[in-house]
């Protein structure tokens, strides 16, 4: 076993039994005195937990009860539930939570869950938060209770008998004992079912009352609405016919407009297709015109630009050949210099020659630069002239023609738009005036509705205040009724308690009287009565007198010995008990009472015989002031006297005794109980009277609350109707305003369009005249400009050829200058390094030979290319002369293309004009359609589909729909204003009335079904309870006779006619005793009787385990032996866990746990394994 759990066991014998165990283990962490984690493993049979007082062994029982759902702090012996958390000690701090886990073996399947082991865990934090879990899964307490209820472990936890609970079984009410039997019998689930049905029945009754009130109120409102609804129905019939005809006419108009719209759409589509085709043709012509213009711009042949490039390449090839020849010469000289004997002199001579050549090349380069600048200036001037021709040339004529066509295409639609816009402007202006008038009418209706709404709103706070006040009064009345009912119940309970006390005291008095034998000897001469009834004691001295002679107060007093002998003979013959005192006998000595503080002075007799007897009985009794300490001192000083105190303490030759402080005499107790009974009865009657008055007041208050609710409901209906009406009128007004704003916006747009288009038309007309004139003038100048452009282009080409030749010569000269400079630098370097590189001349000579060979190959290749380029230049110059005829043909084709494009532009303008006209007409039709649809929604509350589907109304012959519309409108005007909502309200209220009636029927049917369910559940409860009670009563009689040999015990029903409510009365008569009240039993007898009752329940309706805490503490050895024999019988049937101090109980255990309190203030489980 794990050491951190501090859990050990003494293991004893295990008799043969099933291995099925219900409780397997209990783990406590921070629970009460168990600060450290503690594990207890349970075994089959009897487990006994022992330990000294204060060690915490009873906390084990509390832990089991707590983890199984105990809710009251007193159930676990705490002031509040948070006290179960370890509170700490001076040596260790308090803990923040308590946790208990109980592992249950479910291998037998007793619990309805698919686990062989069930772990129930409960955790409580010091903050008050609590958690439950089953097998580690969070759950509710109800889940645990329902799971365990099927195994016989209910919420009352009758299987757990805690300290002091034994006596509660006898002291509890008969109804409480019934609850224990019901829990063991499994009646709790029936009770819960009945409670749910009763709660539903109460709710049903409340709903029934509410529905009946509602039905009366609805019926009252229904009558006046019926008349208004009839008028509204007649008005509605006329309005419906009018609406149907208007709907038909509007549908016809919409159908006509949509047909026209579809036709216009087709025409527009055709025009759009034609426009696309024309634009495509124009685009194609633009491409051809652009191509022709490009061909004309380059003189009709790409060779015009190719010739200068070929000539440039030829000249550059010639320059490269000259350059290679020059380089070859230089290389030959280098080779000759290397072969010469005096290399330095040769290099010096070559250096002088290079300087002369460089000077000549500089002069040649300056001449070429001057010629090149002159040619560039000429070329730039020619380019400026040709650009001027392009700006003023024939292309402007083409641009002017295109712009003129665009202006004509824009001007036509604008003119037609001006005419149509003016007509639409006038029509929309008239429609806006009509809408303004309708808006004013809506404002008037809105004002009336707002006045009604304001009136209802002003009344609302007062009505709400009245309802709140009535609600508070109702709640206060109900609270008062509840409080008085509770007060009456408390008073009744108090009365019953005092009545039981009076009965017990009266029975005790009757028993004492019966034991005195007075009934048997009362007819004998000389019998005076019972001593207690023949004396009178001064107030405050009753306990002292009882202490001195209490044992004989119930004895019968006779006059002399003769009467005493006769009384004894009578008692002997009747075999009845009795006690006889003779007033005059040889033992009486009247002089002995004369002692200081004699008790005799406080008592007087009813006759001289009794006084003489008192002189004898109290002659040696004195009373001292103070407590028992002073009485002991007096008794020691005068040992022959009997010393008593006013508290009932007694010290004399026969022994010393101290009376409990709360003790009172039997007579005083009976008188006090009777007085308190009368007071309690008076309190109960007064509470009952006040309750009845409060209930009557509550009925009146509820009636006022209903009336206030009804007034508020009526006002709320008025508010709702007014608000709905305002919302509807506001919606109509918003629609009218929206339509007016749309038309106003359209008017503004038309006005702006007219103001914008009129200047635009005038501007376009003037611009068109200018463009047409420019087109004519510029087309006439096209041919002359083209000729000038060709001459300038030829001069530009010639100048470009000269510029290319000069640039080639300039580049060749620059390259030769750079080459001479490089050679000059090279020779200079050679002269400086001649002395150092003499030995390398041979290698250098070899490289020079290789260079000469490569230069010769390159010169031959360039010579071939030069001859090829020279031939190509000749061919290109011959071809250029053939281009003049082709240029003329291109110009003629360009003119034809331009004429064809102008014709297509005219057709495109006409198509655009047609599309603009169609678009304007389509816009007008669409606007008219939108207006008709808006009118349908606002005035007829219909959609377009409904209007199109509207059938043609059947009218009399020669009556047109339009004429019928005018006739119906006149009828409506003659009918005057009606309540338009009356019919709707009547139908809604009638529907509500029918619905309430149906609900009433349903509620009554539901109430009947609930009563059937409750009756069925009651019958089931009665059957189950009768069977359980019969078994428990039978087993109680058997177990009681076992525990009390010769005794009789039985269970009876307090009211057998009321099986649902009757309690269980318990009667116990041990052998040799005639006891009619359980309160007269001794402590041990009470414990055995309670155990007999509990074990009778255990045997009748077994549970898998039982837990008992010191239930045998009050038993002597004989009764303990009987109890243990009973436990031995149950050992085979269930698992028992017993907390005990008794050695005999420990010996009967199968498993023994020892609990001790460690030095740190935490309980620990200590053990040691021993042999069986």
Coil, strand or helix: which one is 646?
Answer: coil
pLDDT at 338: 61
Where do we find the tokens 């606002």? 938
Contact predicate 335/828, CB 8 Å = no
Q: Which residues contact 270 (CB under 8 A, 6 or more apart)?
A: none
pLDDT of 975 > 70? The answer is no
Residue 771 CA: distances (Å) to CA of 367, 406, 508, 730, 767: 54, 11, 143, 59, 6
How would residue 343 be classed by pLDDT, with cut points 50, 70 and 90? low
Cα–Cα dist 169/363, whole Å? 146
pLDDT at 662: 47
Contact predicate 1078/1089, CB 8 Å = yes
Q: What does 362-383 look like in DSSP terms, one character per residue? A: HHHHHHHHHHHHHHHHHHHHHH
Q: What is the mean pLDDT of the chain?
A: 75
Average pLDDT value for residue range 914-932: 75
Contact predicate 196/1017, CB 8 Å = no
pLDDT of 897 > 80? The answer is no
Q: Which residues contact 1166 (CB under 8 A, 6 or more apart)?
A: 6, 8, 1154, 1155, 1156
Q: Give counts: helices (H), strands (E), the chain.
A: 24, 24
Coil, strand or helix: which one is 950?
Answer: coil
pLDDT at 551: 64
Cα–Cα dist 90/428, whole Å? 98
Spacing of C-alpha 711 from chain mean position = 37
Environment class of residue 1080 by beta-carbon count within 10 Å: exposed (0-12), middle (13-18) or buried (19+)?
middle
Environment class of residue 846 by beta-carbon count within 10 Å: exposed (0-12), middle (13-18) or buried (19+)?
exposed
Q: Where are the domains of the chain?
A: 1-159+1108-1172, 305-392+802-836+843-862, 507-668
pLDDT at 961: 79
Q: Which residues contact 114 (CB under 8 A, 6 or more apart)?
A: none
* Closest to 393 (Cα-Cα) out of 766, 769, 792: 792
Model confidence pTM above 0.85: no
Average pLDDT value for residue range 8-32: 61
Q: At what angle do helices 884-935 and 666-780 cross, to 10 degrees?
A: 140
pLDDT at 6: 37
Q: Which residues contact 285 (CB under 8 A, 6 or more apart)?
A: 897, 900, 901, 904
pLDDT at 3: 34
From its phi and psi, is residue 536 left (phi > 0), alpha (psi between -120 and 50) or beta? beta
Coil, strand or helix: which one is 127?
Answer: coil
Most confident of the following: 352-361, 400-409, 1108-1117: 1108-1117
Cα–Cα dist 702/203, whole Å? 16
* Closest to 1036 (Cα-Cα) out of 975, 958, 1090: 1090
Average pLDDT value for residue range 353-361: 74
Per-residue tokens: 268: 């527009």
pLDDT at 847: 76
pLDDT of 1170 > 50? The answer is no
pLDDT at 278: 78
Contact predicate 544/602, CB 8 Å = yes
Convert the pLDDT of each residue in 597-617 to its tens digit: 676 777 777 787 777 777 777
pLDDT of 121 > 90? The answer is yes
* Closest to 481 (Cα-Cα) out of 629, 774, 749, 687: 687
pLDDT at 28: 92
Coil, strand or helix: which one is 89?
Answer: strand
Cα–Cα dist 497/502, whole Å? 9
Percent of the chain with pLDDT over 70: 77
Cα–Cα dist 928/942, whole Å? 17
pLDDT of 1030 > 80? The answer is yes
From its phi and psi, is residue 810 left (phi > 0), alpha (psi between -120 and 50) or beta? alpha
Percent of the chain with pLDDT over 90: 1
Environment class of residue 761 by beta-carbon count within 10 Å: exposed (0-12), middle (13-18) or buried (19+)?
middle
* Range scoring the smallest mean pLDDT among 91-100, 397-406, 648-657, 840-849: 397-406
* Range scoring the smallest mean pLDDT among 128-142, 573-587, 752-766, 1063-1077: 573-587
Q: In this structure, what DSSP letter does residue 1157 have?
A: E
Cα–Cα dist 890/681, whole Å? 139
pLDDT at 9: 40
Start-to-end CA distance of the chain, whole Å, equals 20
Where do we find the tokens 């029975």? 507
Contact predicate 307/877, CB 8 Å = yes
Q: Which residues contact 818 (CB under 8 A, 6 or more apart)?
A: none
Contact predicate 521/567, CB 8 Å = yes
pLDDT at 337: 60
Coil, strand or helix: which one is 117?
Answer: strand
pLDDT at 15: 39
pLDDT of 18 > 50? The answer is no
* Closest to 130 (Cα-Cα) out of 119, 122, 138: 122
Contact predicate 285/900, CB 8 Å = yes
Coil, strand or helix: which one is 893?
Answer: helix
Convert the pLDDT of each residue in 93-109 to its tens digit: 888 889 999 998 888 77
Per-residue tokens: 951: 């059938």
What is the longest distance spanned by two Cα atoms in the chain? 199
Cα–Cα dist 45/49, whole Å? 13
How would residue 119 be classed by pLDDT, with cut points 50, 70 and 90? very high
How would residue 1169 be classed by pLDDT, with cut points 50, 70 and 90? very low
Residue 569 CA: distances (Å) to CA of 517, 566, 575, 587, 1078: 12, 5, 10, 21, 34
Residue 789 CA: distances (Å) to CA of 395, 779, 782, 792, 895: 13, 16, 11, 5, 17
Average pLDDT value for residue range 711-724: 75
Per-residue tokens: 1157: 């309190």
pLDDT at 133: 93
pLDDT of 1058 > 50? The answer is yes
Environment class of residue 456 by beta-carbon count within 10 Å: exposed (0-12), middle (13-18) or buried (19+)?
buried
Spacing of C-alpha 161 from chain mean position = 44
Report which of residues 840 and 16 the model is more confident about.
840
pLDDT at 650: 81
Average pLDDT value for residue range 942-969: 79
Report which of residues 451 and 515 the model is more confident about.
451
Report which of residues 590 and 363 the model is more confident about.
363
Q: Which residues contact 93 (CB under 8 A, 6 or more apart)?
A: none
pLDDT at 396: 46
Query: Strands 97-105, 1064-1069: parallel, antiparallel or unpaired by DSSP?
Result: unpaired
Average pLDDT value for residue range 810-833: 73
Average pLDDT value for residue range 55-65: 86
Per-residue tokens: 963: 């004429």
Strand runs labelled E in 514-555: 527-530, 535-537
Coil, strand or helix: which one is 960?
Answer: coil
pLDDT of 348 > 90? The answer is no
Cα–Cα dist 235/729, whole Å? 20
Q: Which residues contact 1039 (CB under 8 A, 6 or more apart)?
A: 1092, 1095, 1096, 1099, 1126
The architecture CATH gives domain 1-159+1108-1172: 3-Layer(aba) Sandwich (3.40)
Coil, strand or helix: which one is 652?
Answer: strand
pLDDT at 886: 66
Percent of the chain as helix, strand, coil, to the nearest 5:
70, 10, 20
Phi/psi of residue 854, nearest 5 degrees:
-65, -40
pLDDT at 123: 93
How would residue 677 be classed by pLDDT, with cut points 50, 70 and 90? confident
Cα–Cα dist 872/316, whole Å? 15
């Amino acid at each position: 076993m794990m050491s951190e759990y501090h859990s050990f066991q003494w293991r004893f014998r295990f008799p043969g039994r099933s291995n099925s165990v219900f409780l397997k283990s209990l783990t406590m962490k921070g629970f009460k005195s168990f600060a450290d984690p503690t594990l207890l493993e349970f075994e089959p049979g009897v487990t006994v937990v022992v330990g000294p007082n204060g060690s915490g062994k009873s906390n084990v029982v509390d832990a089991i009860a707590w983890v199984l759902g105990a809710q009251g702090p007193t159930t676990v012996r705490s002031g509040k539930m948070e006290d179960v958390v370890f509170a700490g000690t001076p040596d260790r701090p308090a803990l923040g939570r308590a946790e208990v886990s109980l592992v249950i073996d479910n291998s037998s399947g007793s619990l309805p869950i698919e686990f062989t082991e069930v772990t129930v865990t409960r955790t409580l934090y010091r903050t008050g938060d609590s958690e439950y879990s089953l097998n580690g899964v969070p759950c509710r307490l109800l889940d645990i209770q329902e799971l365990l209820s099927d195994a016989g472990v209910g919420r009352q936890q009758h299987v757990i008998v805690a300290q002091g609970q034994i006596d509660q079984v006898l002291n509890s009410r008969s109804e409480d004992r019934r609850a224990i039997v019901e829990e063991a019998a499994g009646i709790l689930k029936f009770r819960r079912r009945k409670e749910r049905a009763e709660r539903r029945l109460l709710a049903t009754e409340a709903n029934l009352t509410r529905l009946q009130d509602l039905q009366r109120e609805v019926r009252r409102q229904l009558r006046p609405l019926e008349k208004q609804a009839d008028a509204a129905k007649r008005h509605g019939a006329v309005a419906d016919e009018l609406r149907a005809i208007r709907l038909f006419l509007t549908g016809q108009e919409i159908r006509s407009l949509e047909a026209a719209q579809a036709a216009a759409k087709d025409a527009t589509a055709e025009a759009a297709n034609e426009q696309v085709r024309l634009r495509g043709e124009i685009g194609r012509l633009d491409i051809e015109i652009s191509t022709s213009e490009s061909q004309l711009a380059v003189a009709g042949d790409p060779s015009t630009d190719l010739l200068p490039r070929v000539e440039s390449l030829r000249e550059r090839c010639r320059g490269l050949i000259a350059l290679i020849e020059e380089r070859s010469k230089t290389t030959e000289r280098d080779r000759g210099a290397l072969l010469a004997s005096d290399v330095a002199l040769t290099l010096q001579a070559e250096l002088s020659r290079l300087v002369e050549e460089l000077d000549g090349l500089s002069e040649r380069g300056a001449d070429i630069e001057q010629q090149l600048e002159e040619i560039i200036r000429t070329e730039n001037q020619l380019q400026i002239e040709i650009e001027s021709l392009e700006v003023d040339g024939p292309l402007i004529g083409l641009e002017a023609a295109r712009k003129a066509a665009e202006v004509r295409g824009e001007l036509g639609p604008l003119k037609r738009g001006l005419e149509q816009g003016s007509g639409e402007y006038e029509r929309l202006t008239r429609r806006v005036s009509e809408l303004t008038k309708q808006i004013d009418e809506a404002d008037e209706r809105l004002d009336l509705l707002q006045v009604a709404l304001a009136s209802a709103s002003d009344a609302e706070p007062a009505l709400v205040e009245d309802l709140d006040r009535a609600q508070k009064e109702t709640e206060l009345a109900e609270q008062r009724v509840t409080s008085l009912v509770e007060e009456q119940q408390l008073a009744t309970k108090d009365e019953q308690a005092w009545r039981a006390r009076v009965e017990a005291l009266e029975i005790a008095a009757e028993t004492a009287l019966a034991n005195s034998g007075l009934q048997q000897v009362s007819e004998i001469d000389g019998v005076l009565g019972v001593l207690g009834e023949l004396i009178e004691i001064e107030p405050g001295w009753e306990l002292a007198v009882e202490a001195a002679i209490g044992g004989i107060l119930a004895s019968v007093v006779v006059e002399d010995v003769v009467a005493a002998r006769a009384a004894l003979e009578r008692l002997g013959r009747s075999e009845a008990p009795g006690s006889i005192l003779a007033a005059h006998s040889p033992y009486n000595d009247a002089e002995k009472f004369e002692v200081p503080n004699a008790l005799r002075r406080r008592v007087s007799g009813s006759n001289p015989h009794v006084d003489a007897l008192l002189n004898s009985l109290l002659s040696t009794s004195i009373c001292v002031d103070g407590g028992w300490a002073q009485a002991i001192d007096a008794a020691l000083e005068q040992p022959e006297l009997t010393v008593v105190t006013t508290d009932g303490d007694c010290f004399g030759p026969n022994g010393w005794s101290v009376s409990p402080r709360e003790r009172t005499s039997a007579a005083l107790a009976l008188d006090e109980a009777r007085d308190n009974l009368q007071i309690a009865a008076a309190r109960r009657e007064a509470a009952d009277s006040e309750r009845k008055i409060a209930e009557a007041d509550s009925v009146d208050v509820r009636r006022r609350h209903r009336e206030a609710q009804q007034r508020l409901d009526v006002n709320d209906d008025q508010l709702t109707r007014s608000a709905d009406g305002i919302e509807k009128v506001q919606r109509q007004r918003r629609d009218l305003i929206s339509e007016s704003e749309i038309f106003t916006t359209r008017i503004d747009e038309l006005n702006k369009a007219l103001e914008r288009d009129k200047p635009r038309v005038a501007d376009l007309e003037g611009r068109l005249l200018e463009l047409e004139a420019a087109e004519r003038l510029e087309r006439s100048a096209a041919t002359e400009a083209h000729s000038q452009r060709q001459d300038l282009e030829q001069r530009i080409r010639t100048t470009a050829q000269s510029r290319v030749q000069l640039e080639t010569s300039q580049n060749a000269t620059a390259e030769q200058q750079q080459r001479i400079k490089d050679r000059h630098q090279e020779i200079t370097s050679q002269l400086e390094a001649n002395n150092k590189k003499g030995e390398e001349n041979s290698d250098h000579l070899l490289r020079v030979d290789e260079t000469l060979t490569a230069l010769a190959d390159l010169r031959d290749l360039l010579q071939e290319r030069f001859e090829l380029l020279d031939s190509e230049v000749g061919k290109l110059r011959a071809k250029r002369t053939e281009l003049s005829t082709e240029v003329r043909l291109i110009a003629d084709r360009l003119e034809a293309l331009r004429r064809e494009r102008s014709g297509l532009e005219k057709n495109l303008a006409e198509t655009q004009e047609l599309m603009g006209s169609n678009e304007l007409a389509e816009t007008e039709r669409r606007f008219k359609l939108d207006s008709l649809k808006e009118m349908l929604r606002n005035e007829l509350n219909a959609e377009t589909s409904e209007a199109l589907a509207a059938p043609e109304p059947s009218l009399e012959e020669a009556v047109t729909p339009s004429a019928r519309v005018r006739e119906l409108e006149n009828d409506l005007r003659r009918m005057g204003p009606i309540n338009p909502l009356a019919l709707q309200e009547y139908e809604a209220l009638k529907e509500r009335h029918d619905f309430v009636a149906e609900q009433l029927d349903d509620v009554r049917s539901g109430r009947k079904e609930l009563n059937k369910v409750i009756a069925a559940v009651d019958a089931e409860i009665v059957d189950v309870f009768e069977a359980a009670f019969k078994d428990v009563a039978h087993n109680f009689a058997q177990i009681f006779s076992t525990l009390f040999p010769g005794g009789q015990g039985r269970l009876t029903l307090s009211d057998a006619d009321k099986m649902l409510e009757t309690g269980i009365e318990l009667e116990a008569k041990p052998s040799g005793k005639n006891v009619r009240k359980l309160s007269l039993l001794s402590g041990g007898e009470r414990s055995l009787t309670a155990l007999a009752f509990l074990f009778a329940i255990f045997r009748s309706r077994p549970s898998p385990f039982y837990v008992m805490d010191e239930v045998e503490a009050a038993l002597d050895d004989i009764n303990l032996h009987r109890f243990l024999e009973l436990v031995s019988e149950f050992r085979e049937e269930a698992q028992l866990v017993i907390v005990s101090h008794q050695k005999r109980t420990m010996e009967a255990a199968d498993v023994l746990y020892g609990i001790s309190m460690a030095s740190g203030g935490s309980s620990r489980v200590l053990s040691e394994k021993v042999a069986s």
